[in-house]
Structures are given as C-alpha cells and as structure tokens.
Amino acid sequence: MDSIWTRDIHRPSFKALKGNAITDVLIVGGGITGILCGYMLKKAGIDCMILEADRICGGVTQNTTAKITIQHGLFCNKQIKCYGEETARQYLKAQQRAFDIYAELCKDIPCDYEAKDSYVYSLNDPDKLSREVKALNSLGIAAELTDTPHLPFATAGAVRIAGQAQFHPLKFLYSIAEQLPVYENTKVTQFLPDKVITEHGTVEYNKLIIATHFPIINKHGGYFFKLYQHRSYVLALKGAQDVKGIYVDESETGLSFRNYADLLLLGGGGHRTGKQGGCWQELEAFARKYYKNAEIVGRWATQDCISLDTIPYIGQYSKAIPNVYTATGFNKWGMTNAMVSADILCDLVRGKSNPYAGVFSAYRSLFHTQLAINILESSKGLLTPTSPRCPHLGCALKYNPAEHSWDCPCHGSRFSENGKLIDNPATDDKRL
C-alpha cells in the first residue's frame, strides 16, 4: 500500500541524534513542513535542527497527490462572504507566493515538475461555479468557466485556473533534505521549557517549531477541538486516460484526477477518520465503470487535518508558550500550505513581521459549526464503553477493515492491528 512516489527512488539516510545538542531553532517533524522550514531557516542563515521520530517524509507527505495550486476547491467566494475581501486576498497572495517559490526551486531540482491547468468541477451546480469565477476575478485571478471534455462523465462545468503545477514530492524534498541538519529515528519523549528530551539525549533551543501534522503538545492550544482528521484514498491506474490537467470535485465526497507518467491517479472515497466511507471500493467501482481496460498498479491512503474554518493554523502554538510555533490544518492542500508555513514561520521565529501571518493565526475565532461537531464526536468517543482505547485522550478506537487498522474517530490517531502507532496526535503505541 505504498504510494508510487516511494518506488525506484533513492531515499537519503540520516543518523540518529546521540548525546546532547543546542540549536537556535528546533523543528520536530520531518515531513514536508519540517523540511521546508529547515530549508527557509538555513537560507536565512539561522542555526536549526530537524528531529524525525522515524524516516523523513515517511508519513502523510509520501501519500500526497502532489498538486501545486492556489485553487483550493471553491474557496474564494466563501472566504469573501464569511471573512471579508481582505482575508481572501491575503490568503490568495500567500498561496501565490508559495507557488512562485516552488516554480523557482524546481528549475534546479529534477522532480518531474509540470505546468498543468487546474480545474474544480461540479456535477450539478453551475451557479456555484459562476460565483467562484466572479470572486476570483474580483481579486485579480484569471479564472474562467469551462467544460470538462477530458473527464469520463458529464459535469455542470468547472472553474479553470491556468498554469498551475504538479510534481514528484519525494524527489523534490529528498534533494532539499540532503543539505539540512536532519536526525532520523530520534523520537521526542518529553517537551520542557527551552529543551526537549529524546531517547538518546536532550536538545536545548531558543525557538521550537512543531511540524508533526497534528500538533502533539496537548496542554496548550486546544488543537484537539480545533481540528479533525479526514482520510482519502488513491488508485494508480495504468491504461486509463490522460485528463490533461489536475481536477477536483467541489463536493467533499467527490473525486480527484491527475496523471503521472503513464498513470492516472484517481482519488476519493474519503471519510472522517474512524468513520465509514467509500474507501478504495468506491474508486474500484468507478474504475470498472469508466476505465474498463485499466489495470490497478498501486493504491494508498492519506490523512488530512481539517481546521474549523478551512484556513490553516500557522504561527504561535499558544500564548502560554510564546517561543513555540506550529503549522497544521492544511485542509487537503498541503503542498502550497506547507510552503506558506515555512515562509511565515521563518519570519516569526526571527522576530520579523509577515504580511500573511494574521490570516493564519491560531488565535482567530473558534465560533464555527465544526467546533460543535468536533466536541460531539469527542464526547461520543470518550463515552463509548468499548475497548481498545486511544492513548491520546482515551477515546474508543474503531476498527478500519479497509486498512486493517484501529482508528480514533475523535482526533484521528491510527494504530496497526498489533497496536503500533501509525498517525498522531497519539505519541505512543497502543497495547491492544
């Protein structure tokens, strides 16, 4: 169930930390966000260190579909309506800056970077598409309505933004990581003021960045209320069509499409972690109907943190620990949001202002419908009298037959059938 990105690629190896160390900025987590933060800090001349509990890019990062685009679903009209035009404008500017950084870096890194037009399609709501085009155009984005002749089913059309991109994420990140002070197989076991304890020594720091996908310091920030996790599934199909772009459905339950080499990557089947969903069976049924002669040559799943208002939390972790920072809640758009995170956090840990920091601040309003849903799900998980239970906050785990794992419907931790930790926010294995 490994993604196609892990095939036929040289994976760099880094030693584990042995003994004590001191660094200006410590980054905990060696996925895309941690690697990009390390890159930005090193470029700025800042002493930093990255600690990864396992292998770099071995979690969610290696399971992305790797679309680099400022078009995050039908988001713009909603942001203007809910949060105002200036918030939407700053959000878009931050994404465009991230996109431009990728485009520049990928000129010198062989990572199969390709320019592709981006499409967000709707099955039955052309008015929603028209409103989104109008909103994007009002902020200077050259979006347009179009049809979808390269999809194998009828739609009501799509919003198209030209000149977006896709790439091979691990080729890109491994190339960058080889230049950074990375320590693999170095699990942080305790967080203390101004230092962390690892299995083989302590690391003292001035500033700390938690880049662990879901923040793992439970005492501060309330992220277990502000986030939930969502699983989605991918099939790699050989002998399917070239869709000539990158596509996502505006519906949360829809499908996504992109090509890589001679493969079509079909995504969908998603559900809240710990709940039931279509999983690979939904994608397999779609492939049998529309790509009868295609061969399934790969399958994998990924997990995304979803914020209350679909804008990531990037910045100071909590007012109670002002020298600690985090980035999370990328809402299925991890490529540009990871770069946005690195750009913002590199400034903040150096005491510099960043024009986009306010939009992504973790201190913004909690009063959203999703908060009530998250609290309800957590309450149900805590009150369910069955076992096994998650070591994170004690919720009842649910068995996931599609992936043969135990999943937490409260906060998204996942464990193998024998109790080995797969996904955080839990930090320890579970005895089942």
The whole-number pLDDT of residue 380 equals 86
- Helix or strand holding residue 83 (H, E): helix 76-83
Residues 221 and 315 in one domain: yes
Q: Provide the 10 A C-beta neighbour count for residue 20.
A: 12
CB 381 within 8 A of CB 375: no
Q: Provide mean pLDDT across the span 414-427.
A: 91
The whole-number pLDDT of residue 428 equals 86
Q: Which of 339, 360, 381 is the C-terminal boundary of a domain?
A: 360
Is 161 a member of any domain?
no
Residues 314 and 409 in one domain: no
Mean pLDDT of the chain: 95
Structure tokens at 186: 């170095």
Tell me the C-alpha distance between 210 and 227, whole Å.
15
Q: Provide mean pLDDT across the span 296-318.
A: 96
Residues 353 and 375 in one domain: no
* pLDDT band, very low/low/confident/very high, at 431 (cuts 50, 70, 90): low
Is 263 a member of any domain?
no
Residues 220 and 315 in one domain: yes
Is 382 a member of any domain?
yes
- Helix or strand holding residue 321 (H, E): strand 321-328
Residues 345 and 381 in one domain: no
Residues 336 and 376 in one domain: no
Is 353 a member of any domain?
yes
Dihedral angle at the C-alpha atoms of 227, 82, 318, 220, nearest 10 degrees?
A: -30
Tell me the C-alpha distance between 392 and 388, whole Å.
12
Structure tokens at 88: 């939407």
CATH code for the domain in which residue 218 is found: 3.50.50.60
Structure tokens at 80: 């203007």
The whole-number pLDDT of residue 430 equals 77
Residue 409 is part of which domain span?
369-423
Sorted by sequence, the CB contacts under 8 Å of residue 376 that are 6+ apart come out as: none
Q: What is the pLDDT of residues 323-332, one digit of tens each?
A: 999 999 999 9
Share of the chain above pLDDT 90, in %: 88
Q: How far is CA 115 from CA 163, 360, 375, in A?
A: 6, 27, 41
The whole-number pLDDT of residue 26 equals 98
Q: What is the pLDDT of residues 334-376, one digit of tens each?
A: 999 999 999 999 999 999 999 999 999 999 888 899 989 988 9
Residues 383 and 346 in one domain: no
Q: What is the pLDDT of residues 379-403, one digit of tens each?
A: 888 888 888 999 898 899 999 998 9
List, in sequence order, every residue forming a beta bridge with 158; answer none if it has no partner: 121, 146
Locus of tokens 């949360």: 252
Residues 9 and 53 in one domain: yes
pLDDT at 432 exceeding the cut of 70: no
Q: What is the pLDDT of residues 57-114, one digit of tens each?
A: 999 999 999 999 999 999 999 999 999 999 999 999 999 999 999 999 999 999 999 9
CATH code for the domain in which residue 409 is found: 2.102.10.10
Residues 330 and 378 in one domain: no
Q: Provide mean pLDDT across the span 104-131.
A: 97
- Nearest 5°: phi and psi at 261? 55, -125
Is 185 a member of any domain?
yes
Query: Considering its fold, how many domains does the chain have in total?
Result: 2
Tell me the residue length of the chain.
432
Q: What is the pLDDT of residues 79-88, one digit of tens each?
A: 999 999 999 9
pLDDT at 276 exceeding the cut of 90: no
Is 397 a member of any domain?
yes
Is 264 a member of any domain?
no
Is 195 a member of any domain?
yes
Residues 344 and 392 in one domain: no
